[in-house]
Every structure is written in C-alpha cells, then in structure tokens.
Amino acid sequence: MNVYAYFWRLLRSRPVWYTCNAMAWTVIYLMPIFPGLITKAFFDSLTLDSAAAYGTWALVALLIGAALARCASIFIGFVTDVHFRFRVGMLVRRNLLEHILKEPGARAIPCSPGEAISHFRDDVDQTEETVSWSVDAFGMLTFAAVSSVILIGIDAQMTLFVFLPLVIIVIGAQLATSRLQKYRAASRESTAAVTGAISEMFGSVQAIQVAGAEERVIGRFRQLNDARRQTMLKDKLMSELLNSVFSNTVNLGTGLILLLAGHKMRGGSFTIGDFSLFIYYLTFVTQFISNFGTFLTHFKQMTVSFRRLAGILQGSPATVLSARNPLYLDRRERQAAERQEHANGVEPRGKKAGESANGTPFEPLKLLEADGLTYRYPDTGRGIEDIRLSLRKGSFTVVTGPIGSGKTTLVRTLLGLLPHDAGEVRWNGRPVADPGNFFTPPRSAYTAQVPRLYSDTLKDNILLGHDDQGGRLERALHTAVLDADIERLQQGLETVIGPRGVKLSGGQAQRTAASRMLVRDSELYVFDDLSSALDVETERLLWERMFRERGDAACLVVTHRKAVLARADHIIVLKDGGIEAEGTSETLLAESDSFRKLWYGDES
C-alpha cells in the first residue's frame, strides 16, 4: 500500500464524519463570497446608477450577519473536525497497538520504547493533521472555483494575476518535495533517538551511577541533542522558506492587480465595485494559497510518517494501520458491542476460567508435545534447533544447560512468545495453530527470567485485574513465600513498588512475578530461572509449597539449581541450541559430562 492509498483509506474510515466535516468547511470557505458581492454592489451603487442601492446601515447589518453566520459555521466546523481527526488518530494508534500486542513477545517492536512512543505520538499526529487539512483543501478548492467563475466574469486577465501564485506554489512545493522529506525524516529520526536515550537513561539510573558513567552518558545525550537541533533547524528552515515563498508570491500578485486595476479603471472598463471585489477575494485567495501550500507540506511530511509507522509492522501489510475497527468511545458503545459478541456466542476476553479468549473450547492438559521446534534470531542466527519434548499432566520437567545454550529461547518459542521457524506444538495430540494466543491462563502461566513489574501497588501487580476469589491471592502469596515479606512492608499489599518494582529486592520481584502466575489457575506453569535471586531456604520452601499446591498441573522449569534438578521427573540438557542429553538426574549424572559439570559446578 502506498501513501495515497493509506490517505484514502483513512478518509473512508469514518465516512459520515468526513462528509460532515468536508461540508462544514466548504460552507466556511464559501461564505466570504457573499460579503464580497455585497461590498461590490455597495460601491457600484455609489458610483454607478445601480438599482441595488444599500444604505450604510443595511450594508453594516448585512456584513455583520455574514460575519456571524461564518462564526457559527466555523464553530460547527471545529466540532466536526475534532470528531473526525481524533477518531482517525485513535484508529491508527489502536490498530498499531493491537498489532504490537499480537506480535510474539520478543518481536513486538523493532525499536526502543522511546522511539515507539515517538511513532505513536508524532507520526500519528502528522497523519491526523494531514487528514484534517484535506477538508480545508477541498473547501478552498471549491472557493477558488466559485470565486474564479465570478472574477473571470468580470475580468479574465486580472483573475489570472490573482490565481497565478497558486500555480507557482504547486510547482514550488513539488520541486521542494524530496528535500523536505529528507529533512523531515532526519528530524523525526533524531527526535526519536533523543526520546529513546531519555527512556534508556531513566531505565538504568542505577547502572549509570554504579559504572560512574554520568559524564559519558550526558556527553552522548548532548551529542544526540546537537544532532537533533541541526536536523530540526533544517526542517524548520525549509518549511518556513516554502511558506515565505508562498506568501511573497501572493504579494507579487497583489502588486500586479493594483497596477493593472489603476490602468483599467482609468479606461472605464473596471468599476470601483469590481476593484473592491478583487481586493476582498484576494485576502481569501491568499489564505487559500498559503493553506493549500500547508496541506501539500503536511502531505509530504505524512509520507515520511507513514513509512516509519509501516516499519513498526515488521513486514505485515500497511493496511493494518487504516483497518476499519470500532473505537468504543463511550461505555454504551462498548456495552452494545459486548451484547453483540454475546449474541454471537463469543465470551468476552478472560471472562470465564475454562474458556479460551477466542471462544475455542478449553481442554485440560493430558500431553503437551513439541516436535522439531526451531527458532533462530534473525540478527545473530543463534537460537534453538529441532527440539523435541513432551510434558504429561502433573509432570515436572527441567530445562538446563550452560549460559546462552537456548533455555529461554526454548520456553519462549514453545509458548509462542517467539515465532517458530519450523516444528509443531501439540496440545493433547492436536496441533496448536497460534501458540501466542493459546498459551494463556487457564492453559498456561509463565514467569519470565526478568519479571515485568509496574509502578502500582503490590496487590495490583499480582492480580493485574484478576478477581481475588476464595482466598486465591493469599494462597498464591503463601506458595511463592512472599507472605512474610508483605507483613514486613508498612503498607502491606497496598505498597506502591515504584517503576519496574525498584522498591523490591531481586528475590521479592521474582516471587511477586511467581505470585502473579500462581494466582491464576493453570494446567501448565512455566518458570524461567525463578530462583536465581533466592536464598537456599526460601527456594527450598518455594518448591516444597509449589509441589504441594500445584495439583495436577505440569511444570516446566528453567534452572541449573541442584535442589530443583533433584526433584525433576525429566531433565533436558541444552547445548548450542540443541538437546545434548535428557533423562533423570541419576541417569544424567552417570551418562552426561555436561550435566555433571552443571551439577558439580553448582555445588562448587
């Protein structure tokens, strides 16, 4: 899809609002036609023997009436514009966010969070702005068409001088296009780099302090800002240069009209009324010309924004951005949609345990299998290759192996957080088509190696909107051995844990993430290196309680801790992305060198 198709699809995304908006602004732009004609008639009545003679007060009343009508129509125009433009902006943001949330975890965005924020903010704003200006362009063209018919009827040569600047502007804007696009792309890129650096600095304050790298970080930030200043300056300069060319061309046109009008009026072929009409319309034609130039500039800038937004889609078609989706701007719309979904037999997301989010029936786990599972990171070519595993209901399986052997990649690929390049995952013998959507509670719950916590209360971090029914939260806290820690916190579960949970220790953060997982009933629990920040006693308690509480759920655990390895029904030893050995701890101790190293390494 190219930028014209993108633009066209957005205009058609909300056709009623767009039509109302275009009509309102066409009326607004057409309105000055009438005061112009009234003024012309008035001056002609003074100088010629005209039938349409107005008194001064009648003229004033007519002009005030026209101004009030224009004010009222501008008010209506702003209402329709606000409704249309913000719907378009929201639609693009909504579609982009939906796409990101559907992408497998590790591929969600191809840039830093700061850059993504800049895409969501600046690039969508640019789209919104251009779409909104398109109604002005339409209204202004209508005004130009009507006024040129009137003016040509009076004097074709003079009309040419009024509209000549328009031709120059369109040509000028076209010629400046590629340069303007280049400058705009550079300024957007440098802004994104600065935003990205800010978010990285905020995210790693402690690491910067520990490394004593404040000076260097600030130096780098200064460099990025300097680069931004330069690119922004070029961008602004180019835009202003174009604007000044546009308005000075208009001044040139005005001068030409004055010269020509004087000459023609002396010859008697041009009346004072005609002159007043030309001058009156000229103001609006001037506005039209510079606004039209602004619209063209916005359109060129939107081309850059469109490319950047399409980049976030990582190969998915750009039509995703402009797909016509509901926005649910008020509660009634949302409720009506839910009623409709219900009538169609689709349960709202996460409503019932035992039913999947997409309405497919839930089936308790008997056997989970992976066959030939392969994923390689595109940039490093590292990952996992041809993994085969099976997890039975109630089993406890451990994945272990040296650093970088592919343990995390394996669990993430199995759960659909990374898109597998080859292989198949089967749940009770049936292939799982979309693991990313399939492996969610009540089927499976997952704790990542680095827990994602939010600046909210401990309780909300654990529940994440889930109901705390029947002491579920209390049980999860107990199993995760977090209950004693909470008693020591002054505000207990209501303690706000700071951005990314900075107010918690590493072990507390891990156990908070584990509680979040355990508060949801699941058939399969997946832990990635849960106990790396736990002391021996806490870890022992955690696994003991986990074994007691998990019921029939299967567990898949990434670890190299002996206490966990010793309890496993089955151990998979990974090396360089492949399975090097597997079995129980006894068989592996007897047969696998790598396993012995991991086992005794842990002891040493």
Ligand X SMILES: Nc1ncnc2c1ncn2[C@@H]1O[C@H](COP(=O)(O)OP(=O)(O)OP(=O)(O)O)[C@@H](O)[C@H]1O
Q: Which residues bind ligand X (CB under 6 A)?
A: 106, 377, 379-380, 382-383, 401, 403-409, 449
Whose Cβ is closer to ligand X: residue 362's or residue 377's?
A: 377
Shortest distance (Å) from residue 550 CB to ligand X: 23
467: tokens are 């109901």
CB of 449 to ligand X, least distance (A): 6
Report, in Å, the least distance between residue 385 CB and ligand X. 11
Q: Which is nearer to ligand X, 35 or 401 (CB)?
A: 401
Please identify, using beta-carbon distances, which residue of 200 and 341 lies nearer to ligand X: 200
C-beta of 97: minimal distance to ligand X in Å? 22
For ligand X, the closer CB: 365 or 448: 448
Q: For residue 389, give Cα distances in angstroms to 78, 381, 446, 585.
A: 61, 22, 18, 17
**Could you tell me which residues are beta bridge partners of residue 524?**
444, 554
The full 3-state SS of 183-207, as one line of letters, equals: HHHHHHHHHHHHHHHHHHHHHCHHH
CB of 163 to ligand X, least distance (A): 58
**Smallest distance from ligand X to CB 594, Å:** 13
Using the minimum distance from each CB to ligand X, give the nearer residue, 408 or 512.
408
Q: Taking the complex as a whole, how short is the minimal distance between the CB of residue 383 and ligand X, in angstroms?
A: 5
Nearer CB in complex with ligand X: 449/495: 449
Look at the block and give the residue holding tokens 């940039």. 379
Orientation of helix 272-312 relative to helix 33-47, angle to 10°: 170
Residue with smaller CB distance to ligand X, 199 or 449: 449
Nearest-approach distance from CB 110 to ligand X, in angstroms: 11
Question: Residue 280's closest CA among 25, 22, 31?
Answer: 31
User: Cβ closer to ligand X: 182 or 382?
Assistant: 382
Q: Is 340 left (phi over 0), alpha (psi -120 to 50) or beta?
A: alpha
Closest CB to ligand X among residues 302, 558: 558
How would you class 394 by CB atoms within 10 Å of its CB: exposed for 0-12, middle for 13-18, buried for 19 or more?
A: middle
Long-range contacts from 112-117, C-beta under 8 angstroms, 24+ separation: 112/196, 112/199, 112/200, 113/196, 113/199, 114/192, 114/195, 114/196, 114/197, 114/198, 114/199, 114/200, 115/192, 115/193, 115/195, 115/196, 116/312, 117/195, 117/199
Specify the residue, 253 or 383, whose C-beta has the smaller distance to ligand X: 383
Nearer to ligand X, 345 or 378 (CB): 378
Taking the alpha carbons at both ends of the chain, their separation in whole angstroms is: 60
Closest CA to 241 of 166, 179, 299, 305: 179
Could you give the CA distance from residue 511 to residue 533 in angstroms, rounded to a whole number?
A: 10
- Tell me the sheet residues that pair with 389: 370
Give the CB-side neighbour count of residue 259, counting CA atoms within 13 A.
Answer: 9
Q: Tell me how far, at minimum, the Cβ of 403 lies from ligand X, in Å.
A: 4
Strand blocks (E) in 158-281: none
CB of 576 to ligand X, least distance (A): 8
Based on CB atoms, which residue is closest to ligand X, 120 or 375? 375
Cα gap 564→554, rounded to integer Å = 15
Q: Rounded to the nearest whole angstrom, what is the least distance from the CB of residue 109 to ligand X in the complex?
A: 12
B/e letters for 318-339, b = 16+ CB within 10 Å, e = fewer, are bebbbeeeeeeeeeeeeeeeee
Instruction: Give alpha helix (H) positions in 396-471.
Output: 407-414, 435-438, 458-463
At its nearest, how many Å lie between ligand X and the CB of residue 372?
18
Annotate 44-60 with b (16+ C-beta within 10 A) or e (fewer).
bbeeeeeeeebeeeebe
Q: How far is the CB of 562 from ligand X (least distance, A)?
A: 16
Of the pair 218, 422, the CB lying nearest ligand X is at: 422
Query: Whole-angstrom Cα distance, residue 218 to residue 223?
Result: 9
Q: What is the dihedral of CA 22, 28, 29, 35, to 10 degrees?
A: 160
